[in-house]
A and B are shown apart, each in its own frame.
Chain A
Amino acid sequence: MAVIRNLRSGAWRVVELITTPVVPADYLDVIAPLRNAQVLRAKIDAVRPETENSVTLVLRPGRGWRTHRPGQYVRVGVDVDGVRLWRSYSVTSPPSRRDGRFTVTVNAVPDGVVSTHLVRRARRGMIVHLDVPAGEFLLCEPRPAKALFVTAGSGITPVMGMLRSALHELSDVVVVHSAGTREAVVFGDELRALAAAGRIRLIERHTRADGRLKPADLDELVPDLFERKTWACGPNDMLDDLETHWADAEAADRLSTERFRPTLINSGGGGTVTFTGSSTVVETDGSEPLLDSGEAAGVLMPSGCRMGICFSCVLPLREGAVRDLRDGRLTVAEPGDNIPVQTCISAAAGPCTIDA
């Protein structure tokens, strides 16, 4: 076996020499983009409209994919107007599908570049980039006797993933879901069918007519509120309210929440810059380059022309927002993005973390 292994690795080295300075995979990518184990991609196998503003994408992941656990999300990289942008979407299909495909459901949010692009322009056959599934918003083991899901808008997506995979293991389920109108409820038909079949108790709240749900309303709607294990997903202010409510009732351990966290951008400029390598934290006012701020604080950073032309100073922006001091352009990174930025002409535009 060792001989064969040696032969194989030797043969592979020859193939690498044939294609150097690029790697053989760069050629294979042209014909079989899903075969590359180094770069995880997926092909869109189908696009199904859900509501006027949302679609479900059926994705066939390539090599390197790991099956998700219900409730987890996956980061999807999409080229929008030439720029690869990454967003997280909850997986809405059960992990047991035999064909290895999975689905995500995308809601077009106003000003959401990626979501709008996917809802309007995603087509069968398109290739997107992927990360392996992540997230700790999971059903507990053993399954709870009584469960409650409180969701709003696209917050239903991870919960749908959980219901589709594990509803047969849950006996008493209440779903309280808020959406603008009845038509805007994503998976509305499926949820109502489950309710009609007696599998769940569904409480729909149409906020355009009835106003936003307050935690106090829940006490009335779900009398045994704190006897239930609760999972909540939706806008941050709703989750804040819920967390306070559960904490007040000393039941915080019975509530799990999932946040779609927006990055903070300080429009006036400036913010706290964290240099991870040296664990240095610097307060900036957004008027000087990250390179200058870092160096002044004693961080060793690569540098070159100091005017934005040589790209020697490029470092990954792990998280946060920076502004190009020349033309004001913003670059925003969410965790996992690691966007390389030129530190000599970029300033903090909010809290940000730089890999240096």
Chain B
Amino acid sequence: MTTIQRKKSNPIAHLTPEDIERIGIELDAIRDEVMGSRGEKDAAYIRRVIAWQRGLELGSRGVLLFSIFPPAWLVGTAGLSVAKILENMEIGHNILHGQWDWMRDPKIHSTKWEWDHASPAEQWKHSHNELHHTYTNVIGRDNDLGYGIMRVDEDQKWHPMHLGQPFYNFVNALLFEYGIAAYDLELGKNLKTRERRRDPKFRAALKAVRRKIGKQVLKDYIVHPALSGPSFLHTIAANATANVIRNLWSHSVIMCGHFPNGVETFEKTSIEGETRGEWYLRQMLGSANISGSPAMHLMTGNLSHQIEHHLFPDMPSNRYKEIAPKIQDLFQRYGLSYTSGPLPKQVASAWYKVFRLSLPNRGEAAVRRPVEKKAPAVSTRWRRAQPQAPASAHLGSAGLGTPTPVALSAE
């Protein structure tokens, strides 16, 4: 892909600034409807998933006490892999997004949760919730575009180092949780100069990661194996396998979110003074879904609804499914393409890009349009656009407490 601002045919050229704000108003209405109807059923859902996950993990680890017997090894490893995937995806990722904060249960709260992962929740929330979700697919701002080790967009500068990126990506997939921990630490940047290496904030973060990894490693490779006595080595192998399976799975799901064909990227300058509607539009174009069964949605932590998730990162994940048809309808009415496909297809598409972009661009991929300078960035993305008369449904609450209407800035 090429950033939307440099494409020969711009997929949003047909939208007027008013259209974009109208999209924002419609999305706000969809959000309000779901957020206003969160209740007992949703709370029961997340508690049920947590209870099942814990049961499955405990059961699998119990079976692995006898992992010296091959059937026990297989069953235990399979169960533990599923438990670890559920813990990271449907439970950890979503709780850390604040999707369940509304329940005011301190046990299931973004400020208190810690997950089965190398990266401490606090650091991951910063790089993921704040940087990736706010600056989604903006080249130079969203480091999820290639994680700083790969080139996944024509507009990222090619370097001979990128020739090896299919290999790095594979290694990263195997060790994904450690890759994320390193990424959240911004190791590349922070190890570069002596001054940065000595920065007390970086050192504290590094220490937190070391402690977290220490505990995780002790748990999976010392304590549980030791408990299984004669099955010691078998349990180590089982736990390592479960971790690798979880890593490969989450890496694949996450690659499907923003790398497949059809996903757009954006110039750094394009988000200056961005309105709420424009932000929504960027999320719509910058994400891709995975189609599949309810089991697929659960195992991907509903990141199969990546588009819905990026529009409303704090909406409880069990509700994405019900809004998906409305979002698709919105895409259609505004002439936008809703990128979605089955997992194998999307994974292949993402991998193809990793291979293709390991080589420099061939031919003229981009046009250099003068980028229109916008008003200096002010943080007003929280401000909702006011609906123009005649007011459509469910706008009564939209204006509450937001007295100033948004100035529609030109794209």
Contact = CB atoms under 8 A, between A and B. Distances in A.
A21 B401 contact: no
A133 B297 CA distance: 45
A307 B134 CA distance: 8
A30 B53 CA distance: 13
A20 B117 CA distance: 10
B402 A325 contact: yes
A129 to B, nearest CB: 9
B294 to A, nearest CB: 22
A79 B134 contact: no
Interface in B206-235: 215-216, 218-219, 223-224, 227
A307 B39 contact: no
Contacts of A286: 401
Contacts of A83: 43, 102-104
A219 B86 CA distance: 69
Given A305-B134, A306-B381, A339-B104, A17 B215 contact: yes
Interface in A240-291: 269, 286-287, 289
B329 interface: no
Contact of B126 (A18, A289, A312, A347): A312
A328 B36 CA distance: 11
B104 A18 contact: no
A327 interface: yes
A324 B28 CA distance: 13
A20 B130 contact: no
A79 B404 CA distance: 37
B103 A18 contact: no
Contacts of A84: 103-105
Interface string A21-59: 110001100100000000100000000000000000000
Contacts of A287: 401-404
A102 B210 CA distance: 47
A311 interface: yes
B356 interface: no
B267 interface: no
Nearest to A291: B379
A310 interface: yes
B134 to A, nearest CB: 4
B36 A18 contact: no
Contact of A18 (B105, B219, B382): B219
A284 B382 CA distance: 18
B79 interface: no
A21 B130 CA distance: 23
B32 interface: yes
Given A17-B223, A82-B103, A307 B54 contact: no
B219 A327 contact: no
Contacts of A21: 114-117, 215-216
Interface size class of A (residues with CB under 8 A): 35 or more
B397 A328 contact: yes
Interface in A333-356: 339-340, 342, 344-345, 347
Contacts of A314: 98, 101, 110-111
Contacts of A215: none
Interface in A106-163: none
Contact of A304 (B109, B134, B400): B134
Contact of B215 (A20, A309, A310, A327): A20
B382 A81 contact: no
A21 B35 CA distance: 29
B341 interface: no
Contact of B58 (A27, A327, A342, A347): A27
A328 B401 contact: yes
Contact of A327 (B105, B218, B397): B397
Contact of A82 (B39, B58, B400): B39
B398 A327 contact: yes
B54 A30 contact: yes
Contact of B379 (A39, A307, A309, A326): A307
A81 B223 CA distance: 40
Contact of B130 (A85, A312, A342): A312
A311 B400 contact: no
A26 B47 CA distance: 12
Interface centre among A84, A305, A325 (most CB of B within 10 A): A305
A300 interface: no
A85 B40 CA distance: 13
Contacts of B44: 82
B76 to A, nearest CB: 15
Interface in B1-44: 28, 31-32, 35-36, 38-44
Contacts of B35: 327, 329
Given A30-B51, A311-B110, A289 B40 contact: no
A310 B276 contact: no
Contacts of A305: 129-130, 133-134, 381
Contacts of A193: none
Interface of A: 14, 17-18, 20-22, 26-27, 30, 39, 79, 81-85, 269, 286-287, 289, 304-312, 314, 323-329, 339-340, 342, 344-345, 347
Q: Which 9 A-B pairs have the closest CB atoms?
A: A328-B400, A82-B43, A307-B381, A311-B98, A310-B129, A306-B379, A304-B130, A21-B114, A305-B134
Given A79-B103, A82-B41, A310-B133, 15 more contacts: A14-B223, A18-B224, A82-B103, A84-B105, A269-B401, A304-B134, A311-B98, A312-B125, A312-B126, A312-B130, A324-B401, A327-B398, A328-B400, A340-B109, A342-B98
21 contacts: A17-B215, A17-B218, A20-B216, A30-B51, A79-B105, A81-B39, A82-B41, A306-B379, A309-B133, A310-B125, A311-B129, A312-B125, A314-B98, A314-B111, A326-B31, A327-B31, A327-B400, A328-B401, A329-B35, A340-B101, A340-B111
